[in-house]
């Protein structure tokens, strides 16, 4: 039920269902996050409302209307008002415009949804299939960015970094207070839920740390050459998998088969004092169950940048949860996949998707989550079949 990647992507492209005549006079709506002064000072913050993915002048020259906003909540939001006659929606995992069935069915002209990044769970994909609305994302645009963040998060938990840094900020110096819960990553068992494009890259980056063993849980096996490269062992039962791991990292898409996957029951099967990292999607982990597991010490720590609702409410338990020794919280805003390097890649990818759409050309099949009336993503289709 998990997306597996690190397998070859088909070289062929999908035949486009659109006319080869270039499209003009389209309304394109983009829901992005506000960058404020930072975006004004740093033009490479392309994923912001200020810098508009770098598309404004180009779209204007093509004769299209381009509406950009961060206002996305409620019936009077720019999102819900402007979507009604938009043909293309661009949104981002970092500040998602949630395209529900109800909103989708009010958008009579909508034909294409593009995710500026990776992960399209903010779109009701079943409704998109039924309404013949294509859903595409910029596959691979931030896989390295996220994989690096995963490794960083693992290290800051295992080494008890955050409490140590907070101690320095307070002006204190009590080595024993932080060292008593600091460990080496060497000789630990580390496992990934999902061994796709990100999960596999995490395994690659962990090899030099000489872990005791690398494990993965996925609905399919890695190709032989990939498994040998990282010397990883597949565990087919999820409870058995987590029971063997000192560190678990979640690297799978959010869909019907993974929502709430890490819940109170599964957490009971973790090694006591294990660490959990989630940079995939917040809703894969039960927020209250995770907070309680950290508080009790069942988990020594939880880190990540994804939240079940974004932006996260100020009273979200993941903001303040601590383990019994006062550490174990490595949560940050959702930014692992939106480094300046990643923003350049996904902005370029969005433009490429739009160019193909305008000109009636084929899209890269790796970017297509939902085609016209059918799933193209293996993970989403697999989940749908399981739930029939």
H or E element at residue 193: strand 189-193
Q: Is 237 annotated as a binding residue?
A: no
Q: Is 198 annotated as a binding residue?
A: yes
d(C-alpha 257, C-alpha 28), whole Å? 32
Q: Is 45 annotated as a binding residue?
A: no
Counting Cα atoms < 13 Å in the Cβ hemisphere of 16 gives 18
Q: Which residue bears the tokens 């974004």?
A: 310
Q: Is 256 annotated as a binding residue?
A: yes
Q: Is 257 annotated as a binding residue?
A: yes
Q: Is 95 annotated as a binding residue?
A: no
166: Cβ contacts below 8 Å, ≥ 6 apart:
none
Q: Is 64 annotated as a binding residue?
A: no
Q: Is 142 annotated as a binding residue?
A: yes
> Which of 294, 297, 350 lies closest to 320, judged by CA?
294
Q: Is 254 annotated as a binding residue?
A: yes
Handedness of CA 255, 257, 260, 266 (dihedral sign): negative
Q: Would you please indicate which residues are annotated as catalytic (active-site) residues?
A: 142, 281, 310, 334
SS3 89: strand
Cα 107 to its chain centre, rounded Å, is: 26
SS3 347: helix
Q: With beta carbons less than 8 A apart as the criterion, state whether 70 and 95 touch.
A: yes
Where helices occur in 283-368 by DSSP H, the ranges are 287-296, 340-359
Q: Is 337 annotated as a binding residue?
A: yes
> Which of 264, 199, 290 lies closest to 2, judged by CA?
199
Q: Is 338 annotated as a binding residue?
A: no
Q: Is 336 annotated as a binding residue?
A: yes
Rounded alpha-carbon distances, angstroms, from residue 174 to 118, 171, 177, 252, 276: 42, 10, 6, 39, 26
d(C-alpha 54, C-alpha 34), whole Å? 14
Q: Is 172 annotated as a binding residue?
A: no
Q: With beta carbons less than 8 A apart as the criterion, state whether 142 and 118 touch.
A: yes
Q: Is 199 annotated as a binding residue?
A: no
Q: With beta carbons less than 8 A apart as the criterion, state whether 230 and 13 touch.
A: no
d(C-alpha 331, C-alpha 320), whole Å? 9
d(C-alpha 332, C-alpha 292), whole Å? 19
Question: What is the CA angle 51-57-59, rounded to 5?
Answer: 105
Which residues are known binding-site members? 118, 142, 197-198, 218, 253-257, 279, 305, 334-337
Binding region for NAD(+):
197-198, 218, 253-257, 279, 305, 334-337
Report the binding-site residues for substrate: 118, 142
């Amino acid at each position: 039920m998990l997306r597996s990647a690190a397998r070859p992507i088909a070289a062929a492209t999908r035949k486009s269902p659109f006319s080869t005549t270039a499209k003009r006079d389209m309304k394109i709506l983009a829901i992005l996050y506000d960058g404020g002064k930072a975006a004004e000072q740093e033009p490479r913050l392309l994923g912001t409302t200020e810098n508009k993915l770098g598309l404004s002048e180009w779209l204007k020259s093509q004769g299209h209307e381009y509406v950009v906003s961060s206002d996305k909540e409620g019936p009077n939001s720019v999102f819900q008002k402007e979507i009604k006659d938009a043909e293309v929606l661009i949104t981002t995992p970092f500040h998602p415009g949630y395209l529900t069935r109800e909103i989708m069915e009010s958008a009579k002209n909508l034909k294409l949804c593009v995710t500026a990044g990776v992960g399209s769970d903010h779109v009701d994909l079943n409704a998109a299939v039924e309404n013949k609305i294509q859903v595409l994302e910029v596959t691979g645009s931030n896989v390295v960015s996220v994989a690096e963040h995963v490794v960083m998060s693992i290290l800051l938990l295992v080494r008890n970094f955050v409490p140590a840094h907070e101690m320095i900020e307070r002006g204190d110096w009590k080595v024993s207070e932080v060292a008593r819960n600091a460990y080496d990553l060497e000789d630990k068992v580390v496992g990934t839920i999902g061994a796709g494009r990100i999960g596999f890259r995490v395994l690659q980056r962990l090899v030099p740390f000489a872990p005791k063993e690398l494990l993965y849980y996925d609905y399919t096996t890695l190709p032989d050459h990939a498994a040998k490269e990282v010397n990883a062992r597949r565990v087919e039962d999820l409870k058995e998998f987590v029971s063997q791991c000192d560190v678990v990292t979640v690297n799978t898409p959010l869909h019907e088969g993974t929502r709430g996957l890490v819940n109170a029951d599964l957490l009971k099967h973790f090694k006591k004092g294990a660490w959990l990292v989630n940079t995939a999607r917040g809703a894969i982990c039960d927020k209250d169950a995770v907070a309680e597991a950290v508080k009790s010490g069942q988990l020594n720590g939880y880190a990540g940048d994804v939240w079940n609702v974004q932006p996260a409410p100020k009273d979200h338990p993941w903001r303040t949860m601590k383990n019994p020794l006062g550490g174990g919280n490595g949560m940050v805003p959702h930014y692992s996949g939106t480094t300046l390097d990643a923003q350049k890649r996904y902005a370029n990818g969005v433009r490429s998707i739009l160019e193909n759409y305008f000109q009636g050309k084929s899209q890269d099949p790796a970017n297509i989550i939902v085609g016209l009336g059918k799933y193209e993503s293996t993970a989403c289709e697999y989940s749908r079949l399981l739930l029939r």
